[in-house]
Structure 1
Amino acid sequence: MAETYIKIDDLRPGLVISEDIFANTIYPIVRKDTVVSSDHLEILQIFAVKQVKIHERPVVKREKVPEIDHENPVDPDDILTQIPMKRQDLQTQYSESVQNYKKEFIGWRAGQRPDVAKVRSIAIPLLETFIEQKKMLTILNDLSEPNDYLYHHSIAVGILASAICGQMGFPKGQVLQLGLAGVLADCGMAKIDTSITEKAAFLTKVEFNEVKKHTIYSYQMIQETPLLRQEMKLAILQHHERLDGSGYPRGDKMGQVSVFSQILAVSDVFHAMTSERIHRAKESPFKVIEMIKEEEFGKFDIKVVQALLDLVGNLSIGTKVQLTNGDVGEVVFVHRDARLRPMIKKSVDGTILDLTTNRHIAVGKVLI
């Protein structure tokens, strides 16, 4: 197919770019064989590209008109679930769940066995809300409070685990079961002395070894319940195991660690690192996903990490974000090979910041 250069003013949607286009960037701002859309035109204008090489024969993408299914009409209730929930309403529901879970946990400290049916009634409505309102996952770390971190963490791990499980295509029954397992994964912390669990400073090696026992305690506390499937009980026992064998309590590795255990593990690490703690500040969710993918490579199932990325790190053009340096801006381009490091148009002066070349800055949070 013949190629020719064309001025940006003459470029139209439907034409096909015939070579990668760079603009002092590591990655192309538009890739070869891209069918031009209005978004691409805006990106090229922002980066002051004067001309591009295109295939001479235009390719027009035809949008498929959806057929109306008269036998299975859309349920109005399904439409309602797509309407974004107000942050204030969700925060109230979340806070109530945390406080109700805290009351149960205090009972476990006093020697009571977990009432799994009660925990399920606390957790399931909230899990279903977050499953329906996936975009709200991006504010989950903002809801946590350092003084009650243990209870926030349990609820949040359940939320994240159910969301990741659903993203990976598991049926709703397993999604909710794993969410419940996530909420109960740290119930064994009730057996650890409060001088350790509520310590403001970093733990000593002896204290950390004591904390490691919580996975076994958790498993023992829920072992007899008929309300959790056996694979979910195993996930609770294994939620600190790692694929390379570096985890605990048994040092299981690779095929010995179930996918449900891995989902709990990724959920646990992600929330822990993105939440403010008494002894350390929280990290950016986008930076944490990068660390899990790169620095912790080999410890976690890449399919699980990818599902988390799709849920909370899937930035798109036009998304308003706040960066870790405090700047606010809008995503104008997402690199195919570096989705967590897009190009940002800063609100204050309209300049473009490419996060692939500014590694000390990351997306801090999405502004909803």
Structure 2
Amino acid sequence: MEVTVSNLENVQLGHIVAQDIFANTKSPIIAQNTVIRPVHLLILEAFQVKNVLIKEPESANETSEEINSSIPTAPPMTKKERYANIFERNYKNAIQQIKKEFFNWEAGAHIDITKVRGFFLPLLDNALQDRTVIYDLNAYSVPEDYIYHHCIATGLIAAVITQKLGYERGIIIQMGLAGLLADCGMAKVERRIRNKVSMLSESEFKEVQRHPYHSLNMIKMIPVLKDAMKLAIYQHHERLDGSGYPGGNKAESISKFAQIIAVSDVFHAMTSERLYRTRASTFKVVEMIRESEFGKFDMDVVQSLINVVADLPLNTQVELSNLEKAEVMFINQYALTRPLVKVLSTGELLDLSQHRAIYINRVLK
């Protein structure tokens, strides 16, 4: 193939990029051997690239074949649709079951871990096959039944983060169960306090802070739960800067598994509608955890959550915080939650890393 330097106006669909294209970025905005499609022309324009080293295919058939081979296969959103009905059915069943178990725990019953595994593991398998389900966990949550949704969601998110961090399946399942049971001790806190809409009194807040003790007492005799998970449950409200509870522990004295549950717990809590506040954007919340809460959480764990949440294929449609609908055109590897998007109503290209007041509100189905 003949390699030539072409200005942007002369770059055509079907041309092949002869070398990686950079635009003040450490990673290429378009990789070598990419077949030019409409999305690539928009990216070149957005980054004000003037000249491109291109090569023309040797034949029309080759152009057609390479364009077809460059078109990505069905994006994760179609996979999500495939699992949606099964996941929703398993999720609703899990909520019904954990609600019954909570009532039993309030009455003094021991945790039946066999029963818990029975209704939770099918749901966990759904989430591990399609991690994008955590986008919608806050949509399932009902404020009046928040604690039950929170237990299930925290377990799922903890398992997904653990998977993303590269742990083996046995640990992933253990972390899912630990996340689910982290707040089982809330069954020992009065419902009046759990469901209070106004600010808690000092004595009420101290009672809530005792729930890790209750959780530990409830799970300490469960043989199938590893000791490392029991410690994680007890420590999941500790913070690296010492601002957490119940022990005010710092840094290395807090287990990695406790940090996974901590991030999962905070992420679901902040993205869910509560009796006393509305839910926040998934993308906004992960930025807040990374930036506003810097120093409190393990950054490897936070980054793994961000990698899951911001894993958006090109052409994914999203709703922005200004309620405009947009399409993802380019993922900024150094600001994963802030891609380059095209506003559908105007065709405007918007780099969210440069427009900090606007963020992705939600991923559209």
User: Is TM (by shorter chain) over 0.5?
Assistant: yes
Instruction: State the match for 1:70 in structure 2.
Output: none
Q: What is the letter of the counterpart of residue 180 of structure 1?
A: L
Matched, 1:215 2:212: yes
> Is residue 138 of structure 2 the alignment partner of residue 141 of structure 1?
yes
Of Structure 1 and Structure 2, the greater helix share is in 2
Cα distance, 1:130 vs. partner? 0.8
For 1:52, the equivalent position in structure 2 comes to 50
Distance in 2 (CA, whole Å) between partners of 1:281 and 1:233 is: 32
Contact 1:117 1:227 in 2 (8 A): no
Of 178, 181, 186, the residue aligned with 2:178 is 181
Tell me what 1:7 maps to. 8
- 1:275-286 alignment runs, 5 A limit: 275-286=272-283
1:273 equivalenced with 2:274 (yes/no): no
From the superposition, tell whether residues 343 and 36 of structure 1 become closer, same or farther in structure 2 (CA, over 3 Å).
farther
Give 1:10 shift: 3.1
Give me the identity figure in percent.
41
Give the distance between the partners of 2:329 and 2:21, measured in 1 at CA: 21
Point out where structure 2 has 5 or more consecutive residues left out of the alignment: 57-65, 67-78
Residues 318 and 328, structure 2, Cα contact 8 Å, conserved in 1 = yes
**CA deviation after TM superposition for structure 1 residue 339, in Å:** 1.4
Whichever residue aligns with residue 6 of structure 1, its letter is: N
CA distance in 1: counterparts of 2:53 and 2:115, whole angstroms: 63
Cα 1:318/1:33, change in 2 over 3 Å: closer
Question: What is the deviation of 1:207?
Answer: 1.7
Kindly indicate whether the alpha-carbon contact (under 8 Å) linking 2:240 and 2:298 is maintained by their aligned counterparts in 1.
yes
Aligned match for 1:238, one of 220, 235, 239: 235
Contact 1:84 1:133 in 2 (8 A): no
Give the RMSD, CA atoms, in angstroms. 2.7
Using the TM superposition, give the Cα deviation of residue 33 of structure 1 relative to its aligned residue in structure 2, in angstroms: 8.6
The farther-off stretch of 205-214 and 348-357 is: 348-357
Quote the offset at 1:98 in angstroms: 0.7
- Counterpart for residue 68 of structure 1: none
Deviations 1:122-151 (A, max 9, x none): 211111111112222211111111110000
TM-score by length of 1: 0.84
Segments of structure 1 that go 5 or more residues without pairing to the other structure are 22-27, 64-81
Superposed displacement of residue 302, structure 1: 1.2
The answer to whether the 8 Å contact 1:29/1:335 transfers is no
Q: TM-score, normalised by structure 2?
A: 0.85
CA contact (8 A) 2:306 2:336 kept: no
Change (3 A) 1:170 1:53: same
Q: Mark the CA change 1:327 to 1:47 in structure 2 (over 3 Å): closer, same or farther.
A: farther
Q: Is the 8 A contact 2:16 2:36 kept in 1?
A: no
Cα distance, 1:51 vs structure 2: 5.7
Query: Is this contact kept in 2: 1:274–1:285, CA < 8 A?
Result: yes
1:291 match: 288
2 CA distance for matches of 1:190 and 1:183?
13
Say whether the 8 Å CA contact 2:272–2:278 is kept in structure 1: yes
Q: Report the equivalent of 2:316.
A: 319
Counterpart for residue 23 of structure 2 = 20
Give the 3-state SS of the residue equivalent to 2:82 in structure 1: coil
